[in-house]
Amino acid sequence: KNQVEQSPQSLIILEGKNCTLQCNYTVSPFSNLRWYKQDTGRGPVSLTIMTFSENTKSNGRYTATLDADTKQSSLHITASQLSDSASYICVVSPTTGNQFYFGTGTSLTVIP
């Protein structure tokens, strides 16, 4: 069964600190993995995309890694800011069909 699991479910960190969010998936055959950021009351916005051959991708203070062998991805946020408070969703696409498989997200709160 194609599944995407994220951890932790929620996280609170101090402004300026780093954090890492995890995503494990069983989606097969794998095409790509995206991390989305969803601000409260808004639609998700793509942060990074990685295909099978890419194992790291950066977007400013966000760095995503992918291990296609173990089917794990992480999103590392450096020097967190209050505006990083949001839900982060891991989304995996298979090569067949147009389906997306969503994790339930990690809710990040950055406090001053």
Partner 1 sequence: DVKVTQSSRYLVKRTGEKVFLECVQDMDHENMFWYRQDPGLGLRLIYFSYDVKMKEKGDIPEGYSVSREKKERFSLILESASTNQTSMYLCASITDGTRTEAFFGQGTRLTVV
By CB under 8 A, name the binding residues for partner 1: 31-32, 34, 41-46, 49, 51, 89, 91, 93, 95, 98-100, 102-105
DSSP string of 32-76, one letter each residue:
EEEEEEE-TTS--EEEEEEETT--EEEETTEEEEEETTTTEEEEE
Complex with partner 1: residue 34 or 80, whichever CB lies closer: 34
Complex with partner 1: residue 57 or 77, whichever CB lies closer: 57
Q: What share of the chain is helix, strand, coil (3-state, %, to 5)?
A: 5, 60, 40
Complex with partner 1: residue 31 or 72, whichever CB lies closer: 31
Residue 27 Cβ vs partner 1, minimum distance, rounded to whole Å: 13
Residue 14 Cβ vs partner 1, minimum distance, rounded to whole Å: 25
